[in-house]
A and B are shown apart, each in its own frame.
Chain A
């Protein structure tokens, strides 16, 4: 295997550009970074403008699309990234936590008269409890087995909701009340705290605030001992245990945090749609979010957000191609995974892990060229092919998802439904 390490996984020049941006970012002083953060946040708040919308989704209400699917997918992808990207656990039933959050809001709001802010923490806590219930028996499984069990869990939640009376059966629950509004507060032409039917922008702002808070939380975790433990588990679970990492505990923690974020997304989603049915939570949504994570660059927050954005936005943008758009979208995803298996914006670590997994080891890393010259004898003697394939069942390639089966149809109105999924 020749060639430098950076070029190992991908066959395009793109990674070098990203690498350079990453390098600049690492060297930038703290105030430059904070300025960049501030600009990004300002940009995110300005995003629902009509000028941008007329290009982004000429055929649909841009703020609505920004809320769902784009914003919701982004939040879900951030949550799933904790489980898949950081801890390396393949979860194919992530939509279950999203459903639990949405149903928690719907049930407590319609039965008990709770408002959004009262239902929010409860919805998150129930989702976390579901994470424990799902995680404690199944996290002893690995790889493919875990994927199958989580897939089953996602279906169980949906089918249960479809069959119980108190979840409204196939007709779901409606009307779900909007979050309480604050009247008379106006910035420009928006009333950002007035939640109603017509304007989707307040919901987008609400979601944006939660996304920002979640990013801060997840970033802090990533840099902590918890993040280090996850990285060790993801890279080699046995080795992590041998070094003293309580692997089971940290896998559960990853599941719980992922579940909390999924539940949060569900509550916010439910507050805007006014009506939820089991059809809102199909398996294909789990698959799409997983696609977003893998496509963007599993483990890298920026990559994952970009991935979720593209997955949500592209089908909306090319709506005029009607049924073909999903075909093209699916082909694009497949192509993507062939030419850039590590994702659009991979993390440095992930790239190294992937290179190891495929056995494509340059015994000499690019940076070490000079240092190795004097040790040529040893490196020549080391059989380069002598690597037992480090084939840990990582989440990366296991998504046999078929994104062309879905139709996130939720554009203009308040009700969002994926209409293809057959009822049971």
Chain B
């Protein structure tokens, strides 16, 4: 297992946001966490990337216990998150943003990574000198993913990459995620809008008020009537 999370508990003040979550992600997989607003998806992801402190439980990455490792050190280990709300640097140009992805790496040569990212996202190549803040929503999401890829992560964490985007753009982005995964990067995805995420994923966990209530192969969840009812826009017939 590349990532093993065991009985994770996280508090916001006195409120327990994550109540004993256990999840696992294997090398090469795409795994999705689905759930409603407030289910704890984003908190889980933030905890995995080190932005949130753990109350109890453990996080192991590639066999190593990283529960207490600071966020900025996890990039070096191979975990990189494209943050929620596209979290790009609005005042930096596209190139400067991508360059920030290599911040933690010691080797000075990033030409190959840049090539790869610009091939995945040709739009970014066209926009290279433009400020991040002036990009469209879809382009910002691409930039956030591209920037994370510049860090050469083994595990890519994505927080709602479809948020606020038109269906066509979402489709494009999911296609690219598939490509990234095919090239060998493991992906853990958080999605509220779950249909497309499930179609992309190998496995998924369903979160409700801070706990995992279901865990199954993605295809199975797509057919599960209770999941369809709750997360896939009603129990429409096949």
The A-contacting residues of B in range 95-117, CB under 8 angstroms, are 100-101, 103-104
What are the residues of chain A within 8 A of B92 when measuring CB–CB?
Answer: 231-232, 235, 349
**A322 to B: closest C-beta gap in Å:** 42
Q: Does A353 contact B (CB under 8 A)?
A: yes
Distance A364 CA – B138 CA, assembled complex (angstroms): 12
Distance A241 CA – B70 CA, assembled complex (angstroms): 9
Q: Is the CB of A243 within 8 A of B75?
A: yes
Distance A365 CA – B87 CA, assembled complex (angstroms): 19
Give the size category of A's interface with B. 35 or more
What are the residues of chain A within 8 A of B51 when measuring CB–CB?
Answer: 238, 241-242
Contact (A368, B127) CB under 8 Å given A245-B103, A382-B136: yes
Q: Does B216 contact A (CB under 8 A)?
A: no
Q: Does B161 contact A (CB under 8 A)?
A: no
Contact (A355, B123) CB under 8 Å given A231-B92, A382-B165, A387-B164: no
Q: Is the CB of A242 within 8 A of B81?
A: yes
A349-383 to B contact mask, C-beta < 8 Å, 1/0: 11111011100011111011001000101110111
Contact (A352, B103) CB under 8 Å given A243-B75, A243-B151, A368-B127: no
Contact (A244, B169) CB under 8 Å given A352-B91, A355-B133: no
**A347 to B: closest C-beta gap in Å:** 8
Distance A47 CA – B112 CA, assembled complex (angstroms): 53
Q: Is the CB of A239 within 8 A of B137?
A: no
Distance A346 CA – B134 CA, assembled complex (angstroms): 17
Distance A229 CA – B89 CA, assembled complex (angstroms): 11
A127-163 to B contact mask, C-beta < 8 Å, 1/0: 0000000000000000000000000000000000000
Distance A240 CA – B91 CA, assembled complex (angstroms): 13
Distance A46 CA – B176 CA, assembled complex (angstroms): 62
Q: Does A390 contact B (CB under 8 A)?
A: yes
B57-88 to A contact mask, C-beta < 8 Å, 1/0: 00000000000001111011000110101011
- Name the one of B76, B87, B123 contacting A244, with C-beta atoms under 8 angstroms: B76
Q: Does A246 contact B (CB under 8 A)?
A: yes
What are the residues of chain B within 8 A of A367 when measuring CB–CB?
Answer: 129-130
Contact (A379, B136) CB under 8 Å given A232-B89, A244-B104, A388-B164: yes
Distance A361 CA – B75 CA, assembled complex (angstroms): 30
Q: Is the CB of B91 within 8 A of A353?
A: yes
Q: Is the CB of B89 within 8 A of A244?
A: no
Distance A229 CA – B92 CA, assembled complex (angstroms): 12
Distance A363 CA – B72 CA, assembled complex (angstroms): 31
Between B49, B89, B129, the greatest number of chain A beta carbons within 10 A of the residue's beta carbon is seen for B89
B210-227 to A contact mask, C-beta < 8 Å, 1/0: 000000000000000000
Q: Does A188 contact B (CB under 8 A)?
A: no
**A250 to B: closest C-beta gap in Å:** 10
Q: Is the CB of A244 within 8 A of B85?
A: no
Distance A179 CA – B96 CA, assembled complex (angstroms): 46
What are the residues of chain B within 8 A of A375 when measuring CB–CB?
Answer: 123, 126
Q: Is the CB of B134 within 8 A of A365?
A: yes
Q: Is the CB of B89 within 8 A of A383?
A: no
Main secondary structure of the interface of A (DSSP, over half): helix
B121-154 to A contact mask, C-beta < 8 Å, 1/0: 0010011011111111111000000011001000
Distance A349 CA – B127 CA, assembled complex (angstroms): 16
Q: Does A236 contact B (CB under 8 A)?
A: yes
Q: Is the CB of B49 within 8 A of A352?
A: no
A236-267 to B contact mask, C-beta < 8 Å, 1/0: 10111111111100000000000000000000
Q: Is the CB of B136 within 8 A of A241?
A: no
Q: Does B15 contact A (CB under 8 A)?
A: no
Q: Does A386 contact B (CB under 8 A)?
A: yes
Q: Is the CB of B168 within 8 A of A236?
A: no
Q: Is the CB of B103 within 8 A of A243?
A: yes
Distance A364 CA – B132 CA, assembled complex (angstroms): 11
What are the residues of chain A within 8 A of B151 when measuring CB–CB?
Answer: 243-244
- Name the one of A235, A240, A362, A378 contacting B90, with C-beta atoms under 8 angstroms: A235
- Name the one of B90, B100, B129 contacting A390, with C-beta atoms under 8 angstroms: B90
What are the residues of chain B within 8 A of A352 when measuring CB–CB?
Answer: 90-91, 131-134
Q: Is the CB of A382 within 8 A of B137?
A: yes
**A58 to B: closest C-beta gap in Å:** 42
Query: Which A residue's beta carbon lies closest to that of B82?
Result: A242
Distance A231 CA – B132 CA, assembled complex (angstroms): 13
Distance A243 CA – B87 CA, assembled complex (angstroms): 11
Q: In the complex, given contacts A231-B89, A236-B83, what are 12 additional A-B residue pairs having Cβ atoms less than 8 angstroms apart?
A: A228-B100, A243-B72, A244-B72, A355-B133, A361-B133, A368-B126, A368-B134, A378-B138, A382-B137, A382-B138, A383-B165, A390-B133
Which 6 residue pairs spanning A and B have beta carbons closest together? A244-B104, A386-B164, A356-B133, A349-B91, A356-B90, A244-B75
In the assembled complex, 10 residue pairs joining A and B whose CB atoms fall closer than 8 Å, in A order, are A235-B89, A239-B87, A242-B148, A244-B103, A352-B90, A353-B90, A355-B90, A356-B133, A371-B126, A383-B137
B residues apposed to A, CB below 8 Å: 49-51, 70-73, 75-76, 80-81, 83, 85, 87-92, 100-101, 103-104, 123, 126-127, 129-139, 147-148, 151, 163-166, 168-169
